[in-house]
Amino acid sequence: MRHALDYFSTLLHLLGMLVFVGGHIWFGVLAALAEREPQPAGERFLAAALPVLANGFGLGVLLLFGSGLLKLLMWGEPGLIFLPDLYGWIFFSKLVLYIVIVGNGLMIERRYLPRVANLAGDEMNVAWAQVKSRARFNLVLVLVVVALGETMRFSKL
């Protein structure tokens, strides 16, 4: 049973990475293509698709967090989470970064997405620039979390 749960948590982790990291990469590619078009149709398409993308990113974060927590509960030792251990510090850093990612995503979804959807002209361009820069910041944070995850794997050796 334990191996089936381990397989399931690994599958959830991979799905979460595909949805969250892959979604951010596709968003970056589509945003770059929309900027290069002389007509604003690409930006309007992305502005209309942003709420769906935000929900997908949230689902990806939940899958990543849940699968990591499931693995910790399955394979963790009682003293594994404490901070004097290197593994504990890396785990704590990942948790803090997840909180920052979710907070930044909430700010994008609550503050900037309504502006992009409802405005036009220069105000929309400013809001759109904020959405892109915060999404890129989230992507960098996600890549740091992935690197810390790989570090966690080797810190137990």
Profile the chain (157 residues) by mean pLDDT over runs of 10 residues. Answer: 82 86 79 74 72 81 82 66 70 82 81 72 75 81 81 68
Q: pTM above the 0.85 mark?
A: no
Of 16, 19, 14, 21, residue with least CA distance to 140: 21
Q: Residue 76's pLDDT is what?
A: 66
Taking only Cα atoms into account, the Rg of the chain, rounded to an integer number of angstroms, comes to 18
Overall number of domains in the chain: 1
Domain hosting residue 93, numbered range: 2-155
Of 132, 142, 6, 129, residue with least CA distance to 64: 142
Structure tokens at 97: 């970064």
Angle formed at CA 21 by CA 40 and CA 34, multiple of 5 degrees: 10
Question: For residue 114, what is the DSSP state?
Answer: H
